[in-house]
Amino acid sequence: LVPQSVNYLDPLMKVGKQVRGTERSKHALQRQRELFLSYGLQEETEDLYPFECSGGMSRRILLSTALMGNTRLLIADEPTPGMELAMAKKAMEDFRKFADAGNGVLLITHDIELALEVADRIAIFYAGTTEALVSDFQSEERLRHPYTKALWRAMPGNGFQVIPGNQPYVKDLPKGCVFGPRCPQFSKECEGEIPERVVRCGTVRCIKCSEKIVRK
């Protein structure tokens, strides 16, 4: 686990010891120092307490902790806030290498541009999920759900276009499609049951989503 909060670190224990965990061998110490060095953390960092580390340093320490052992699955919850762009990209590259070695990575992030650089599949959450191949984000027409398309248009490289309204609270979900009140394609039939279906190799809950791709 790469937790979202840096408060996950024990404030009463030096960070090097936390990264090594129960391992006391020379190999564990060497591995920890290699990871620290790869993330721009000097050797003396291992003797610091969490309060002596910046937010970006703490993020890198948490990443090192997750990569220490014989891990097969990484769950990274917003692992890059506060990190310089170069270090954030380095973390994403490490996740990609980890996955290419036959392991699994579940990355939870608001930084969709970073995710698109390394991910195979993207699940977009809006009081539920839709799923897409990363290649679908090459153009708006390849995407399925109206919210995913709106998110694509809101990206910096696509015009920063925003839609009015807010995501509903769980206790105040509308009938039928939860995106309905903000959707330009909304109609009365959208207030009924919205089954999940597979469209162009991705799952979606939208009765207006078409199999057809408009190619420009």
Q: What is the pLDDT of residues 151-162, one digit of tens each?
A: 999 998 899 999
Q: Which residues lie below 8 Å from residue 148, measured CB to CB, with a gap of 6+?
A: 124, 130, 132
Distance CA 42, CA 61 (A): 11
pTM for the model stands at: 0.82
Q: Which residues lie below 8 Å from residue 212, measured CB to CB, with a gap of 6+?
A: none
- Res 200: pLDDT: 85
Outline where the chain has alpha helix (H).
Answer: 15-20, 26-38, 55-66, 85-100, 112-118, 146-154
- Res 216: pLDDT: 46
Per residue in 195-206, pLDDT (tens digit) is 999 998 888 999
Mean pLDDT of the chain: 91
Per residue in 26-49, pLDDT (tens digit) is 999 999 999 999 999 999 999 999
Pairing outcome for strands 73-77 and 104-108:
parallel
Regions of the chain short of the pLDDT cut 50: 214, 216
